[in-house]
Structure 1
């Protein structure tokens, strides 16, 4: 760990610099606070064997990646904050300039990420300064929507609100000026931010600075102002459930009327609305809601781009009976199960190979369909649209194509604001 962190890693199977292979640029996750490119599951070898140049990009995190402060704004108004996303952008631009030397095609780039890395992909798609720099995008568990109340985490703060958090951090650090702050040890800044800010629920994240970021990336997706490229996105089955915070059925009814107005009675007619979860009712997957709401908005545009939805729901072995927890699908998409300590069996390796094949096809062409690494035709994966709400489920028995059959989910998507 160190301040000298702005590097990237490249896997290539090219023998010369003129092979024009498709390129994957990967942004890791970690809530914008943690993570690194060398996590074992991000080994790009299996994708490289499929004819893809894989690049994993490092970027600054936490206070050093997302700090805003009035003195910074005054000193560098053209780039006052968002250093983490700007690092991601710098990595992408480095790839554009240099990847041909590694056999890659600078005009066939897919940006992809998981969790906060998916949020980074959303931010890059929404930024007007990236137009034409990539041709496809993948967000794994990184696009969120709460159908009941506003989910603030992935909605950029205003610059002024972010600056207030920066002033608070300076107070915790015991400094008043940028000059004083720059003399501090980076590890001291990191520890102080972690102990005094994160542990109190005050995380630095992407900021609406009016330059790199000009609004909510999800809104940019839904209104068509994003970079209009084909997208693959989805979620695991057991991650990030939102619910209505109600202590009893009477309170549930009150909140349903608040959230859904004249449609509250219809909402309450669904058995799913009465499922108890945590401190409330009506659990629903926030990433599934986010992806599907965005894809429905895209499908209603005159020149709609292809959007492919997946859900990851196989059995995951282990004495802890983990379910399909957040991030577990990464071992499958990268086909790196052999590096994991869980007792995976043959069916898991078969699924990982299949998922990696779908991903590789999308990276190459913007369409996951086609053939696997052994030349076998893959099951058809249709786009998720308003007219055809097609899903691809990755199960213990492999990829299973289907259609959204939950009227409850359809109701929430029809009423989500």
Structure 2
């Protein structure tokens, strides 16, 4: 029966892919495959076949709000899978990164994108399981066009939605006492989607025994938290962590409970931790939750990111890696050269005002690039530290306050990411990179006195054609040199998904990072060609020796 099902699926793919380009894409009556819950009908587009908006869990609404995801009820009639499911509820959009804002609680859907010729492969294809970023407060799997990764790289790509903001990460004591896994509902969603992939992906041409979990920013942190979660042991086999160091620490449980209790009180549910409070919280209108989760331009006071709950996330990543309590596998870890520039752009986008020297000083004094205390509490460091930081980046060295802000904010982020690299070195097969194309198209509209450079998220459009964030982002086409770099990155990512080594056809210069003095090498992803740089050069470029003893890691 498995062989017959595989042949039938291959015939469906072959027929379906004759339907043409995106504009002419249409569902074919016979482009149907089975899942454990019922059959789904996909759509052919260019070089891929897509199955969109497949539910991987029951809608987490009503009494299922703030509970681990439950199995979806089966269906018998063929389910249409030709359009994306709704994005999860979100309001804080990180400038143009996500959106539009919405109140959708029924949002646990995933998408499968397979090359059209998957049926011609003698073996099932590697699976790239992509987790979107967005600070754990926004984003959606539908923002990412995975067709190039699937068609050119010959992998099956899965993109997912997961609960966000207060609906996804919420540690109220009344809920925590109910006897189920708690606080990290968004991570539990990701793990539920992984279970779906293990059970179903073979029907779509994918190999359930060769799964790579990848993500960028909060998606990269999610990938890393799943590496350290005991609940995912043997669920996947390789990891790609793009532009994230927030996994090094997790929100302490006491901070999560304090914020959730303050939210419940502000929402009119009182300060108790009993069943009545839990029932009140679950009856709150979703629009109330989203209004209290924060404005579009900032995180709200009650929001937390993944929590050290002791079961899903036993500890922060730094502690887990140092102690060896994590799932060993090949890992790719990297950053962009100007990570901080994306975050510097957000207030400029909302205010329409250029960055000033006062803004630079304010950042160092109050924000410190994710270096704040537990759960977003104010940073704490010795008297005189602010002056030392500003002296390291004298205003006269930069053509504008924005470029000075970029240097400080980027170095804070990048040096924390480097710390993660140093922790991982020698413990797993490790490949490290820096994306350095400072000509990368900018998905924000034109901003006053702003130079984008190789900003956080800039590399996404090289993997996912036309990536522009949310509906307010600006889509750009890559030029010929950028397209060549895109081809190289797609080859590296998919080579890694296949074998755990990014080298192969299209990429042959990426050395493994072992931590030994002569093997601490980064791949420099730039135009006109790929190259390498040493850990020492990377450290000097980002002043990491200065930051080493100032940054909070766990």
Higher normalized contact order (CA 8 Å, seq sep 6+, divided by chain length): 1
Q: Give the corresponding residue for 1:307.
A: 430
193 and 105 in structure 1: CA distance in 2 versus 1, 3 angstrom threshold:
same
Consecutive unaligned residues of structure 1, counting only runs of 5 or more, are 145-152, 247-254, 260-266, 373-377
Moved more, 338-347 or 320-329: 338-347
- What is the DSSP-based 3-state SS (H/G/I as helix, E as strand, rest coil) of the residue aligned with 1:344? coil
Please give the alpha-carbon distance, in whole angstroms, between the structure 2 residues aligned to 1:69 and 1:34.
Answer: 21
Q: Give the corresponding residue for 1:330.
A: 460
Q: Give the corresponding residue for 1:273.
A: 392
Q: Give the corresponding residue for 2:159.
A: 56
- What is the DSSP-based 3-state SS (H/G/I as helix, E as strand, rest coil) of the residue aligned with 2:128? strand
Q: Give the corresponding residue for 1:75.
A: 178
Is 1:235 the counterpart of 2:335? The answer is yes
Q: Give the corresponding residue for 2:440.
A: 316
Q: Give the corresponding residue for 2:513.
A: 384
- What is the DSSP-based 3-state SS (H/G/I as helix, E as strand, rest coil) of the residue aligned with 1:210? coil
Q: Give the corresponding residue for 1:25.
A: 129
Alignment of structure 1 residues 133-282 onto 2, 5 Å: 133-144=235-246, 155-176=249-270, 177-195=277-295, 199-240=299-340, 245=364, 273-276=392-395
Moved more, 183-192 or 197-206: 197-206
Q: CA deviation at 1:184?
A: 2.3
Q: CA deviation at 1:221?
A: 2.5
Consecutive unaligned residues of structure 2, counting only runs of 5 or more, are 1-85, 87-103, 271-276, 342-359, 366-380, 396-400
- What is the DSSP-based 3-state SS (H/G/I as helix, E as strand, rest coil) of the residue aligned with 1:12? strand
Please give the alpha-carbon distance, in whole angstroms, between the structure 2 residues aligned to 1:125 and 1:34.
Answer: 22
Q: Give the corresponding residue for 1:109.
A: 211
Please give the alpha-carbon distance, in whole angstroms, between the structure 2 residues aligned to 1:192 and 1:222.
Answer: 37
Q: Deviations 1:16-42 (Å, cap 9, x if unpaired)? A: 898321001111011111111111xx1
166 and 16 in structure 1: CA distance in 2 versus 1, 3 angstrom threshold:
farther
Q: CA deviation at 1:108?
A: 0.5
Please give the alpha-carbon distance, in whole angstroms, between the structure 2 residues aligned to 1:199 and 1:283.
Answer: 18
Q: Deviations 1:177-204 (Å, cap 9, x if unpaired)? A: 2222222221221112225996554422
Q: CA deviation at 1:86?
A: 0.5
Q: Give the corresponding residue for 1:250.
A: none
288 and 195 in structure 1: CA distance in 2 versus 1, 3 angstrom threshold:
closer
361 and 326 in structure 1: CA distance in 2 versus 1, 3 angstrom threshold:
same
Q: Give the corresponding residue for 2:423.
A: 297
1:18 and 1:100 in contact (8 A); partners too = no
2:248 and 2:420 in contact (8 A); partners too = no
- Length, aligned pairs only: 382
- What is the DSSP-based 3-state SS (H/G/I as helix, E as strand, rest coil) of the residue aligned with 1:132? coil
- What is the DSSP-based 3-state SS (H/G/I as helix, E as strand, rest coil) of the residue aligned with 2:254? helix
Alignment TM-score, normalising by the size of structure 2: 0.62
Q: Deviations 1:52-80 (Å, cap 9, x if unpaired)? A: 0100121000111011111101123x312
- What is the DSSP-based 3-state SS (H/G/I as helix, E as strand, rest coil) of the residue aligned with 2:207? strand
332 and 80 in structure 1: CA distance in 2 versus 1, 3 angstrom threshold:
same
Q: CA deviation at 1:293?
A: 2.1
2:229 and 2:326 in contact (8 A); partners too = yes
RMSD: 3.4
310 and 281 in structure 1: CA distance in 2 versus 1, 3 angstrom threshold:
closer
Q: Give the corresponding residue for 1:263.
A: none
